[in-house]
Structure 1
Amino acid sequence: MNETFLILAAAGAILVIVLVALLRSERARAEAAMRLARLTESAESLAAAQAQLAGRQQLAQTGINERLEALAKRLGDSLSEQTEKTGERLRSLHERLAVIDAAQKNITDLSEQVVGLQDILSNKQARGAFGEIQLNDLVTSILPPSAFDFQVTLSNGKRADCLIKLPNPPGAIVIDAKFPLESYHALREAKDEATLKKVRRYFGAAVMVHVNDIAGKYIVPGETAESALMFLPSEAVYAELHASLPDIVEKSYRAKVWIVSPTTLMATLNTVRAVLKDVRMREQAGVIQVEVLRMLEDVARLDKRVDSLEGHFNLAAKDIGQISTSAKKIVSRGEKIQDVQIGDDTPTEGLPPPV
């Protein structure tokens, strides 16, 4: 009996254990199901979040791509614009360099010309030729060829640089080119007042030597005018003379030698041209008067012929009027004849007998 009790107790214990195990297994299943449901829910939430994240990532990627494209376009446009501007600046730079090169070449040529001019001016004979060439250019550009001669020998044996042919009065005027360059340079290079006064006297004396030389050689009574022109081929020398030495200018006036520069000589030659034109007009005045008289004679003859033609015209008009009157009468008679009825009953009174 004890064994049976033990067996029953053991069986009960086993049953209890089995029941407990079953209960634990059910709980485990329930917990597992709950955990699975939670995991499923979490997975769904995670999938939704992942999808949302993917959408946001796509939007972000699209925005980034658009911004990158806009940035690339702006960079491309900016680079193109900068490249174009750089090209324009380079072209402008090349043009300026070309201008600078041309200017440099002109400066070089001018320097060579200045050196050549200095060489000319340093030689007294060449300097005189320079003044004569400038005088030649001015005269030939303003006056007609018949109004001047160069290197003319006067009756006293002196050779003039230029002789302007003017009628009496005043007569032919001599122009002689002079260039007192050494004394002018000494005047410009004076450093103090004492030296300035000294070289100024030297400059004035040099000018007066030329003035007296021209007055003695080129004013010939009965052949030339009572005055002559001294041509200074430098505006600077002319201006310095008038500014610093007005007494020398006054002395030249008293010597009847008029000092002129290129500008004042041009004005003088224009005046001479006007005088020559007036002289030519006066010379042609007699010819013009003769031609006018001949023209008046022709006009008188023409007037007579017009009067004669007018008489013929009036006579012809009278004849034409008479012819017109006769024609009208003929037409009137013809119309009357046309109105006459020709037949057996036609009255014959007043008609001539038939032949």
Structure 2
Amino acid sequence: DKNYSSLTNNISILTNQLINIKQDNYNFKNDQTDLLNRQYSITEDNLKQITEGLSNQQNLIEQKLYNTEQRIEGIKTSVVDNLNEIRRDNTEKLEKIRETVEEKLSDTLNKRLSESFSMISERLETVYKSLGEMQSLSTGVDDLRKMLSNVKSRGTWGELQLGMMLEQVLNKNQYEINVSVVPNSAEKVEFALCLPNNGEKVYLPIDSKFPQESYGRLIEAYNGNDEKTINNELKALNNSIKTEAKRISSKYIKPPYTTDFAIMYLPIEGLYAEVVKQLELMDVLHNQYRIIVAGPTTLLALLNSLQIGFKSIAIEQHSNEIMRLLVVIKNDFNNFSKLLELTQQRLHQASETIDSAFSKTKRIQRHLDNVESIEEYNS
């Protein structure tokens, strides 16, 4: 029975314990259920708040997106407008630049074309002028050829050259043209220099000669390098020169009206060189015919020497007058020297007078200073 009672007690105890455990489980379950309910309620509120917050954030974001889209649209519109404005401005500027460039290119092109046409015109004018000059030169050469082919024309050419040389170097009273060297004679020399001779005039005849045919054939012979032909043409030229020298000597050398010699002027240096190379010919011209041969350079030197001689003679002729003038100048200088000496003496006297006056002034000044000192002492 004790065991039964103990067992019953134990069972009762266990039953109570089970009841307690069950109650505890029930309470725990209720507590957990309440806790879960409370947690669920809190979570649902939070979810609502979160949902509302998210909704508000979404609305705010959508509003900001809308505002951003509007701003972007405005910026896009502004950018498009600005781009259009820039495009229009660039188009206008490019148009202006194009017009300016075209204008400048047109002006430059017109200027260059004008300059080119002007230059071309000037050059064409120069060409035309040169053609005219060449034509004139050709005409002149033809005229010269015609003149040289005519004996009288050749003589005229030599006379013109000789006359120009005389006119260039001498005074008009130092030579004469177409002179009758002998009074009342019909023979007239082309030119004659007027040389002074004890107050009278003596003529130096000058006649120009140009044996063009003989000289031309000699040049052709030289070009052909034919010694025999050269010698023959030299003889022909010598004979021509001798003939002209004889004529000049017989017609124009008439002392005492003229000098005892005359000048044969050869107007070409080459011709003159050929003549003076012939020593035998030159000896005949000097000794037999009393003729001096002169080319352009030689005659020019001779005329310059004569001009210097004329000046020396003029100085000699006027030497007495110069001496009288020097005597007058000397007398005037002596008078001027005496006048300077007298002026110096008077200046010296004036200087002494000024020195004396200065000394007297100093004495008077000292007296005045003494008077002033006395007045100061008395006061």
The normalised TM-score by structure 1 is 0.64
- The 1:293/1:194 distance shift into structure 2, 3 A limit, reads same
The alpha-carbon deviation at position 128 of structure 1 amounts to 1.5
Higher relative contact order (CA 8 A, sep 6+): 1
Q: Identity of counterpart residues, as a percentage?
A: 25
Residue 124 of structure 1: aligned partner: 151
Residue 192 of structure 2: aligned partner: 163
Residue 78 of structure 1: aligned partner: none
Residue 312 of structure 2: aligned partner: 278
- The 1:246/1:106 distance shift into structure 2, 3 A limit, reads farther
The alpha-carbon deviation at position 240 of structure 1 amounts to 2.5
**Count, aligned residues:** 262
| Distance in 1 between residues matched to 2:358 and 2:134, nearest whole Å | 95
| Distance in 1 between residues matched to 2:363 and 2:125, nearest whole Å | 100
Whether 1:246 and 2:246 are equivalent positions in the alignment is no
The alpha-carbon deviation at position 293 of structure 1 amounts to 1.1
- The 1:238/1:342 distance shift into structure 2, 3 A limit, reads closer
The normalised TM-score by structure 2 is 0.60
Residue 175 of structure 1: aligned partner: 206
User: Of the candidates 250, 256, 260, which is equivalent to residue 226 of structure 1?
Assistant: 260
Q: Secondary structure at the match of 1:233?
A: coil
Structure that is richer in helix per residue? 2
Residue 35 of structure 1: aligned partner: none
| Distance in 2 between residues matched to 1:103 and 1:94, nearest whole Å | 14
Residue 299 of structure 1: aligned partner: 333
1:224 aligned partner, one-letter code: T
Residue 177 of structure 2: aligned partner: 150
Q: Give the stretch that moved more between structures: 153-162 or 181-190.
A: 181-190
Residue 315 of structure 1: aligned partner: 349
Q: Is the 8 A contact 2:209 2:267 kept in 1?
A: yes
Residue 260 of structure 1: aligned partner: 294
Residue 214 of structure 1: aligned partner: 248
2:170 aligned partner, one-letter code: L
| Distance in 2 between residues matched to 1:94 and 1:328, nearest whole Å | 93
Residues 238-278 of structure 1, C-alpha deviations (whole Å, 9 max, x = no match): 223234x3321222222321111122211221222222222
| Distance in 1 between residues matched to 2:131 and 2:376, nearest whole Å | 119
Residue 351 of structure 1: aligned partner: none
Residues 151-186 of structure 1, C-alpha deviations (whole Å, 9 max, x = no match): 111116221111112234995321111111122223
- The 1:316/1:126 distance shift into structure 2, 3 A limit, reads same
Q: Secondary structure at the match of 1:113?
A: helix
- The 1:286/1:99 distance shift into structure 2, 3 A limit, reads same
| Distance in 2 between residues matched to 1:320 and 1:172, nearest whole Å | 75
**Where do 5+ consecutive residues of structure 2 fail to align?**
1-112
- The 1:306/1:105 distance shift into structure 2, 3 A limit, reads closer
The alpha-carbon deviation at position 131 of structure 1 amounts to 1.2
The alpha-carbon deviation at position 91 of structure 1 amounts to 11
Residues 293-314 of structure 1, C-alpha deviations (whole Å, 9 max, x = no match): 1111111112222222222222
Structure with larger Rg:
2
2:330 aligned partner, one-letter code: L
Q: Secondary structure at the match of 2:350?
A: helix
**Where do 5+ consecutive residues of structure 1 fail to align?**
1-86, 347-355
- The 1:184/1:317 distance shift into structure 2, 3 A limit, reads same
